[in-house]
Structure 1
Amino acid sequence: MRPELYRGAATAALLLTAGAAAAQTTSPTTDDSTLLSDVIVTANRSAQAADRVGQSVTVLTTQQIEASQTVEVVDLLVRTPGVSLSRNGGIGTTTALRIRGAEADQTVYVIDGVKLNDPSSTGSGYNPGNLLTGDIARIEILRGAQSTLWGSQAIGGVVNLITAEPTRPFQAALDAEVGSRGTSYLRGGLAGVGERINWRLAASHYQTDGFSTFARGTEKDGYENTGLSGRVNIKLTEDVSIDLRSVWSSGRTDIDGFPAPTYSFGDTREYGTTKDLVAYAGLNFDLFEDRLKNRVAYAYTQTDRQNFNPAQAVTNLTFDARGENRRFEYQGVFDIVQGWVATFGAEHEDSEFRTASPSEFTPSPTPTANSVGLDGYYLQVQGEVVDGLTLTGGVRRDEHDTFGGKTLGQAAVAWSLNDGGTVLRASFGQGFKAPSLYQLYSEYGNTTLQPEEADGWDAGVEQHFLDKKLMVSATYFSRDTTNQIDYVSCSSTVTQAAAPLCFVNNVRRFGYYSNTAKTQANGVELAAAAWVGPVEVQANYTFTDATNETAGANLGKHLARRPEETANLSATYVWPFRLTTTVAVQYAGESFNNASNSVRLEPYTLVDLRASYPINDTVEIYGRVENVGDEQYQTTTDYGSAGRGTFVGVRARF
């Protein structure tokens, strides 16, 4: 066995042994997300008890998010089973998060019920690099192909982000943090619950001097982000209410590029800006003595991205893009009889994009722009056929302006035995991803593209011991993806007869997009959690074999930037004088930076130390040391990563 694989296997064994061995004498906290009494929203688009959900879901609660002291959402997600990431530098840079080895743009992100994607990006995926924890109170990570309820892009899974809701007539929150690399983070919120109106407003500002995006560079590349969010619920009658929600953020990221005269990757003064707007307006009304819950909503997202290069004389602007989505939705949830629920709905989405790449030779190019519409209809029925055995089945039909129609199905089973001590789960789901506007209509576009398609299934067991003081789980998953869209280059000698798509109006182009790729992913997710008096231990290990199944030179090669092995361990101890200390370990095995597997990315292990102390019921101080060992590693070749950093902060809840 190669040394790095041996180290990965040893790490996995250590994590799972630690999770099991520490579990002899504890009790879980009352709001811990592993308890079967928790509710899960994402899997069925309506609240369901966890032991009735057949899909694989991980829930991160407010308590867990705050205890992690994590600033960036992706740093939370990568510590959960089945999730890996790569990014081009530090916080705020282009970030690719992959669930179970799927492509980065095959994950759906949802914030407060609104799907996030950027129609102006190459694959219309959402870049989560600008997502800060801020006012987020709960995160659900749904793994596997989930397009039946969530539509296009949900091949890898769904990440559902929920901002905080008010719980008292008036409440306030304030967090402040400073630390290494000139970092500061300030966030606060006000909220209230009234007889008819519930409301919340929150704001945050983060900035850091950062480190060089170029791994061997010396110039620091900083980041700054300002965010605002708000929500209000107006109760018109006992059965009718209005929801208004919005989230806005503006980020500026220093980046490195390819300076003259060598035009090789290195330090530059380039930077990029990203502005995201999410808006939602919904009408909720119940009928038939609350048996039928209805929601009619309008959602809008807008992403503006610009890149600048101060070294250019004619124009500093080098890239300008805007992507917009407008969604109209109806969803109904009907209690058929006791234990049986039907979820159904209809959606219409209009997407638009505009991109331009100014240069010193063409300072004002004509932008590429287009739009597309998508209609979707879905139905899912869930029922408890016998005590503890819940079956779920669903179907979806989508109609796309360009490629036409697509029908999908999904099925799941959850069987809760021994009063919830054992839960067996299995699910089968189909996923699809519509071609992006860029893939259809850009200079490399192909309007004959078909959607990417996936069939995936998983099966697992969750077992509780010692009055739920110890939990262990194991899940096997498999997914086949076909019609995956890939870029095809056109050589300078190709003829129109041999490759007609290389020519537009008899003019050769550099390349085009085509449904040429096929991939496969199989793996195992293991997890353990234990509560031993003042000790809490959480551990997980994932093995993912994600390979290219496309005929050609790369057949059987590992997909780029997807480590086969990942593992996480956290151990928390609450001291008698109320000090809480945590050690957290994150491991990622070797991966490859390119499709041919000729460029290797080394495995790495990161260790963090965290501590917090409640001064009273209102104020808590905390601190952490990230990457204690100052590990030097790369998730993308030639891009830097953060070294050791120390941070301290205070949070107050009024």
Structure 2
Amino acid sequence: MISGVSLLAIALPAAAQDGEDTITVTATGTRGNVDATGQAVTVIVAEEIDAMQGADLTRVLERAPGVSATRTGGVGAQTAVRIRGAVGEQTLAILDGVRVADPAAPSGGFDFGNLLSTDLSKIEILRGSNSTIWGSDAIGGVIVATSRFADGLSASAEYGARDTVNARLAASLADADTGFLGLSGTWFNTDGFSSAASGSEADGFEQWAINGAARYYIDGRSEVFVRSRYAEGDLDIDGFPAPSFTLADTLDTQETRQWTGSAGGTYDSGPLFLSAAYSFADTERDNLDGSGVTTFASEGRSDRIALRGEWRPFGPTLVHFGGEHEWTSYETLFDAGESTRIAGAYLQGGVEWRGIAAHIGGRVDDHADFGTEVSFGADASYDLTADLRLRASIGEGFKAPSLFQLHSDFGNLLLEPEQSTSFDLGLSYGERAMRDSGVYAEATVYRRDTDNLIDFVSCFGVSGGICTDRPDGTYDNVSRARAQGVEAEIWGSPGEGVTLGAVYTFTDAESRDTGLQLARRPKHSALFTAEFAALERGSLGIDVRVVGASFDDALNTVRLDPYEIVTLRGALTVTDTVEVFGRVENLFDADYQTVAGYGTAGVSAHIGARLAL
């Protein structure tokens, strides 16, 4: 496969790049080996992303245990990614070191429909609460995505069903003594299909993005870096038009503009590693009706300064530390807008000695609107044998109320943060980063309790209490939830050129107030995958994703049926620099929904090529 260099490696000194595929930042906030943490972490590298093909990020993310996604239409439509049954907005999303949640979104989360896999080289998924390291939003888990850059010129393009075009062009220069400079551009366009399952008018999506990164080596220990990404998307959406106000075809569109960036430096003396950076994320959205009139507009922005570090004072001991200060603001067509700030600091001590790794730490955050929040976390792992490892972790998470939930016309300044406590216990065999070249197996049991869940409260026909002066409704801390389950995966190579894998997740997510199942959380999901080396330069793959039944609503009255999706894919290396590939998604044209009333793609064929010089 033709692959690139992770931007995580670009952001770290050259000495830290050895074994880059095994490096994770989600566990500690700096750098560490994925097998040296007791936390549940999955690392998906460039080769696996390439093998999956296409721009649909959910197809990549759902290869990890405990991860599920729901979407209101095709690629580009609103996409929620849930980790271990958590709410989509309780997944902290980080792109190239920048927190990319939209402060103007009602729940302050990140819409994964606006991030395509075309330009990514690495994805890290931490399953479990970890606000000790990451602060607000890390209740369900953390997803860290890294952009793709490689030394030289590279390009890719594919064409397929519904006139879908996915293209990328990148160029970069690297010098071991001086630094790195890279630039890439992507374009995705599809005619799509009707977002409303009952509709007939196709809803398309177009997005283009420009991504750049540079670093300069000051000396053998220090460097400075800068990176930035700008993306524009245009999505056709369906709605609830009069007089029936049921989901149906409309000519409405949503335009999204995202700009993110960061600048900073790193220092690495061996015992001491420091990284300091300023970062920002700005998201603008405009909803327009069929005549081009703006019906809603919003802008959310965050600015952040952060210092993270690792110190190894002596022997096997280590200390991770850091602090951040973030300013966020929002405004909409109907709100003048507000701003707030949150500052936090954490300290985590640990020991990594022979077959033992253990860490424990705490964090204090101060929010301008709700005050102080304290989080704790710990993890440990132990090598029972050379290949068998026992691990465990416990963590706390919190999510600050969004600016919209606090200050909009529906806002409530008395809201408390959502809070969670999670723990898991796992047993693994082999190395996580080597699952395609040996045998790797893991089984994990987990549980997470969440309190103070924030939800919208209707005030229709109610005039007193919390609904006083809020005839259209408001937000309140209304419920508690519990998610518990089992995650299991096994990967192996039974013969030369053959790789087999199976991933299974059991998720029991329910309201602790009503005992009913949480909406859109299937209890059972599984992935079965096989990769075959065909001849000397080719490969064939098959993926079968099986998802059990779930409910679309909190009252468990609207059922979402189970479904199975089969994808065939193949690739052929024509020369040392050219590879052609193709796939057929949803081979048996399964008719299914992840959100009630919204359509999904039928059988789809695509073909493409990659070039690396």
The bucket for the TM-score relative to the shorter chain is: over 0.9
How much has 1:36 moved relative to structure 2? 12
CA distance, structure 2, for counterparts of residue 417 and residue 230 of structure 1 = 44
Return the letter of the residue paired with 1:243. F
2:230 corresponds to: 248
CA distance, structure 1, for counterparts of residue 243 and residue 371 of structure 2 = 48
1:89 corresponds to: 73
Residues 212 and 267 in structure 1, CA contact (< 8 A), matched pair in contact too: yes
Return the letter of the residue paired with 1:284. T
Farther off after superposition, 106-115 or 67-76? 67-76
Stretches of 4+ moved more than 4 A in 1?
Answer: 465-468
How much has 1:242 moved relative to structure 2? 0.9
- Alpha-carbon spacing, 1:222–1:594, altered in 2? closer, same or farther (3 Å): same
Task: Please give the secondary structure, in 2, of the residue aligned with 1:108.
Answer: strand
1:485 corresponds to: 454
Which of 318, 326, 347 lines up with 1:379 in the alignment?
347
1:23 corresponds to: none
How much has 1:422 moved relative to structure 2? 0.6
1:173 corresponds to: 154
Whose RCO is larger (CA < 8 A, sep 6+)?
1
How much has 1:120 moved relative to structure 2? 0.2
Task: Please give the secondary structure, in 1, of the residue aligned with 2:404.
Answer: helix
2:421 corresponds to: 455
CA distance, structure 1, for counterparts of residue 21 and residue 298 of structure 2 = 45
2:548 corresponds to: 589
2:296 corresponds to: 319
The count of aligned residue pairs is 590
Which of 446, 466, 487 lines up with 1:525 in the alignment?
487
1:360 corresponds to: none
Please say if 1:187 is aligned against 2:179.
Answer: no
Residues 132 and 377 in structure 2, CA contact (< 8 A), matched pair in contact too: yes
1:406 corresponds to: 373
1:391 corresponds to: 358
Residues 180 and 214 in structure 2, CA contact (< 8 A), matched pair in contact too: yes
CA distance, structure 2, for counterparts of residue 73 and residue 246 of structure 1 = 20
CA deviation profile, 1:90-146 (whole Å, cap 9, x unmatched)? 111111110000000000111111111100001100001011112211111110001
- Alpha-carbon spacing, 1:275–1:493, altered in 2? closer, same or farther (3 Å): closer
CA distance, structure 1, for counterparts of residue 162 and residue 362 of structure 2 = 50
Please say if 1:125 is aligned against 2:109.
Answer: yes
Residues 107 and 153 in structure 1, CA contact (< 8 A), matched pair in contact too: yes
Residues 403 and 451 in structure 1, CA contact (< 8 A), matched pair in contact too: yes
Farther off after superposition, 335-344 or 367-376? 335-344
Alignment of 1:105-120 (within 5 A): 105-120=89-104
Q: Indicate the RMSD between aligned Cα atoms, in angstroms.
A: 1.7
Which of 499, 519, 524 lines up with 1:536 in the alignment?
499
1:628 corresponds to: 587
CA distance, structure 2, for counterparts of residue 126 and residue 251 of structure 1 = 15
CA distance, structure 2, for counterparts of residue 428 and residue 616 of structure 1 = 49
How much has 1:450 moved relative to structure 2? 0.9
Q: Where does the alignment leave 5 or more consecutive residues of structure 2 unmatched? A: 1-18
Which of 456, 467, 484 lines up with 1:502 in the alignment?
467
2:88 corresponds to: 104
CA deviation profile, 1:271-305 (whole Å, cap 9, x unmatched)? 1011111110012234xx44222222100000001
2:218 corresponds to: 236
How much has 1:211 moved relative to structure 2? 0.3
CA distance, structure 2, for counterparts of residue 182 and residue 126 of structure 1 = 28
1:13 corresponds to: none
CA distance, structure 1, for counterparts of residue 462 and residue 94 of structure 2 = 45
Task: Please give the secondary structure, in 1, of the residue aligned with 2:241.
Answer: coil
Residues 37 and 50 in structure 1, CA contact (< 8 A), matched pair in contact too: no
CA distance, structure 2, for counterparts of residue 448 and residue 609 of structure 1 = 52
If the length of structure 2 is used for normalisation, what is the TM-score?
0.94
Residues 42 and 124 in structure 2, CA contact (< 8 A), matched pair in contact too: yes
CA distance, structure 2, for counterparts of residue 131 and residue 323 of structure 1 = 17
How much has 1:79 moved relative to structure 2? 2.3
CA deviation profile, 1:538-560 (whole Å, cap 9, x unmatched)? 1100000000112xxxx010000
Which of 273, 285, 290 lines up with 1:305 in the alignment?
285
Residues 51 and 415 in structure 1, CA contact (< 8 A), matched pair in contact too: no
1:607 corresponds to: 566
2:249 corresponds to: 267
CA distance, structure 2, for counterparts of residue 502 and residue 91 of structure 1 = 38
How much has 1:333 moved relative to structure 2? 1.4
Return the letter of the residue paired with 1:211. F
CA distance, structure 1, for counterparts of residue 420 and residue 518 of structure 2 = 16
CA distance, structure 2, for counterparts of residue 295 and residue 571 of structure 1 = 40
CA distance, structure 2, for counterparts of residue 84 and residue 37 of structure 1 = 24
CA deviation profile, 1:523-544 (whole Å, cap 9, x unmatched)? 0001000112111011100000
Residues 30 and 309 in structure 2, CA contact (< 8 A), matched pair in contact too: no
CA distance, structure 2, for counterparts of residue 268 and residue 99 of structure 1 = 32
2:271 corresponds to: 291
How much has 1:46 moved relative to structure 2? 2.0
How much has 1:587 moved relative to structure 2? 1.1
Alignment of 1:8-157 (within 5 A): 38-157=22-141
CA distance, structure 1, for counterparts of residue 20 and residue 80 of structure 2 = 31
Alignment of 1:569-588 (within 5 A): 569-588=528-547
CA distance, structure 2, for counterparts of residue 163 and residue 259 of structure 1 = 39
1:639 corresponds to: 598
How much has 1:472 moved relative to structure 2? 1.6
CA distance, structure 2, for counterparts of residue 182 and residue 493 of structure 1 = 50
If the length of structure 1 is used for normalisation, what is the TM-score?
0.88
Residues 61 and 139 in structure 1, CA contact (< 8 A), matched pair in contact too: yes
2:181 corresponds to: 199
CA distance, structure 1, for counterparts of residue 21 and residue 382 of structure 2 = 15
Instruction: From the CA coordinates, give the structure whose radius of gyration is larger.
Output: 1
CA distance, structure 1, for counterparts of residue 43 and residue 308 of structure 2 = 23
Residues 397 and 407 in structure 1, CA contact (< 8 A), matched pair in contact too: yes
2:439 corresponds to: 470
1:546 corresponds to: 509
2:408 corresponds to: 442
Task: Please give the secondary structure, in 2, of the residue aligned with 1:529.
Answer: strand
Alignment of 1:216-235 (within 5 A): 216-235=198-217
CA distance, structure 1, for counterparts of residue 470 and residue 451 of structure 2 = 28
- Alpha-carbon spacing, 1:489–1:205, altered in 2? closer, same or farther (3 Å): same
CA distance, structure 2, for counterparts of residue 383 and residue 59 of structure 1 = 23
Task: Please give the secondary structure, in 1, of the residue aligned with 2:313.
Answer: strand
Task: Please give the secondary structure, in 2, of the residue aligned with 1:418.
Answer: coil
How much has 1:508 moved relative to structure 2? 4.3
How much has 1:416 moved relative to structure 2? 2.1
CA deviation profile, 1:559-609 (whole Å, cap 9, x unmatched)? 000100110011011023422101110111101010000000000000000
How much has 1:493 moved relative to structure 2? 4.4
CA deviation profile, 1:146-178 (whole Å, cap 9, x unmatched)? 111011000000001111244x4xx11100100
CA distance, structure 2, for counterparts of residue 345 and residue 561 of structure 1 = 36
Residues 501 and 530 in structure 2, CA contact (< 8 A), matched pair in contact too: yes
Residues 144 and 155 in structure 1, CA contact (< 8 A), matched pair in contact too: yes
Q: Where does the alignment leave 5 or more consecutive residues of structure 1 unmatched? A: 1-34, 357-365
Return the letter of the residue paired with 1:413. A
How much has 1:74 moved relative to structure 2? 2.1
Please say if 1:332 is aligned against 2:299.
Answer: no
How much has 1:390 moved relative to structure 2? 0.8
CA deviation profile, 1:419-449 (whole Å, cap 9, x unmatched)? 2x01111000000000000110011111111
How much has 1:261 moved relative to structure 2? 3.5
Return the letter of the residue paired with 2:137. Q
Residues 92 and 223 in structure 1, CA contact (< 8 A), matched pair in contact too: yes
